[in-house]
Amino acid sequence: MSALVGARIHPAIERRFYTGMALMVLASVFLGFSRTYFLKPWFPELASLAPPEPFFFYVHGVCFTAWILLLVVQPVLVARRRVDLHRRIGWFGAVLAALVVIVGAMGAMLAARRPGGFIGVPIPPQQFLIYPITDLALFGVFVVLAIVWRRDTQRHKRLMLLAAIGLLDAAVIRWPLGDMTAGLGESPWTRTDICVDLFLVPMIIWDLMSRRRVHPVTLIGGLAVIASQPLRVMVSETSIWMNFAGWAIRLVGR
């Protein structure tokens, strides 16, 4: 391993790394939403535990799935030397990212407005609303920066990957691996947070192997993801947030 650290990494290996990370994100999303979205007809027993989903949430699922698939397709296009197509699709990705934020925020507020709130979440919906809103805010910041630095490939790649990691909460919390909500609203870090943070580890290892130090985007972006987790717990308990959340939930009900 020490012999590899700082060695010149062949571009093909770098492309495989980012493609592999994108596939890991895709697999995590599929695992999380397989029972309630992708393979829903095969899990009819879960239908009795939740109210019927409005059509909007299927649109929501299509937008988010398209984004994750785009994350996989883009490095594959680069690997096949279709950089021209990669760039053209990139502008479609920018529009899709805006849709993800808008549809995601609306979906979160609609879910919070339901009589039972967020399904399977043990804390009040107005308080929990800060979780998806924080994820979407981080996603939006990372994508905007990725667009600004689109010609700086090293920054761009890392920002796009961080944007995807920032959205993983919703999938990870649904993993069928025990109670992923344990400590939610009480502990600064839950099992879900820790699992999401583990996606940063391969990025750090890659940076150390390819450039002997952690890239500033990985460092600052990773710290932003980690720091947001205890901060949202603290903010969710304030009257300012509760008033804002109540207003937002009423807004989608009009």
pLDDT tens column, 206-242: 999 999 999 999 999 999 999 999 999 899 989 999 9
Determine the 3-state secondary structure of 123 from DSSP. Answer: coil
d(CA 145, CA 148): 5
List the chain domain ranges. Answer: 11-252
CA distances from 108 to 5, 60, 103, 114, 184 (A): 43, 10, 9, 10, 17
105: nearest Cα among 125, 132, 141: 132
Res 1: pLDDT: 42
Please, which residues have CB within 8 angstroms of residue 224's CB and are 6 or more apart in sequence? 138, 141
Judge contact between 24 and 163, C-beta under 8 A.
no
Res 186: pLDDT: 61
- Mean pLDDT per segment of 10 residues, for the chain of length 254 residues? 51 89 94 85 66 77 93 86 86 94 94 80 89 96 96 95 94 82 65 93 96 96 96 92 92 71
d(CA 125, CA 113): 8
pTM of the model: 0.89
CA 84 to chain centre: 27
